[in-house]
Structure 1
Amino acid sequence: MAPDDENHAEQWPLPPSWMWSCQECTELYKQMKGAIEASVAARSAAGPGVDYDPMDIVLTKQLRLARHIALTHAPDVPDVDPECARCVSDAATRPDADEFVLEHRARHLFMPPIVAGLM
């Protein structure tokens, strides 16, 4: 992978304009982007002994947004990304694009490619 490819793979995409016209998409996106800060603040307020794992919260927010898009905006979910091993694998083994496939592909709308490919 060339350095430019690595940099691109880590870049957050600008979500498509239709997401901003959906109140739930907008709210879920804002929650996802603010999840780490919210987790750190909660951990500071609660003190030791309380589990506020930021990765749990961030992942949950990502999954909620992807699920909303897959269920509510399925026609707007992008096609298979030929650069994404998960997309290519899903296309070969699950050609009907079930809910989980759509959730994965929806992540390409708002996650860096390197992160979208993980789930």
Structure 2
Amino acid sequence: MTEDPDETPERPVPPPFMWGCCECVRLLLKLAAEWDAPAGCFWEQLQTARHIAEAHPEDVPAQHLEDCELCPEYARRQDDDAAGVWAQHRARDLFMPQTLARLW
């Protein structure tokens, strides 16, 4: 990421289910490798969130009830695309700092 290291919030430790999944571990390692790259790690974040939403839907966190401007908008949408994107949005809380995870 391109944030000032002194201002970047600490990344959460991913939950145990992610360490038990070879694909999650691979994606987390890719994310870590690109975290401080000048181009950032947005693509790696998307890949990781998509994998969690598709392969581990039971582990996707519930709707954010506070401090999230996006969840109410996703909740109003009824199409399958919105449901998938919303699950990816919520999954980002598992491996990204909350302030960054809730940007998309």
Contiguous gaps of at least 5 residues in structure 2 = 1-6
How many aligned positions are there? Answer: 95
Q: Would you say 1:89 and 2:73 are equivalent positions?
A: yes
SS of corresponding position for 1:85: coil
CA contact (8 A) 2:30 2:44 kept: yes
Which amino acid is 1:12 matched to? R
Looking at secondary structure, tell me which structure has more helix per residue.
1
SS of corresponding position for 1:54: coil
Structure 1 runs, 4 residues or longer, greater than 6 Å off: none
What RMSD, in angstroms, separates the aligned Cα atoms of the two structures?
2.2
1:113 to 77, 80, 98: 98
Identity of aligned residues (%): 39
Report the Cα distance in structure 2 between the residues aligned to 1:28 and 1:22, rounded to whole angstroms.
10
Contiguous gaps of at least 5 residues in structure 1 = 1-6, 40-52
User: How far does residue 36 in structure 1 lie from its aligned partner after superposition?
Assistant: 4.1
CA contact (8 A) 1:104 1:116 kept: yes
Bigger radius of gyration among the two: 1
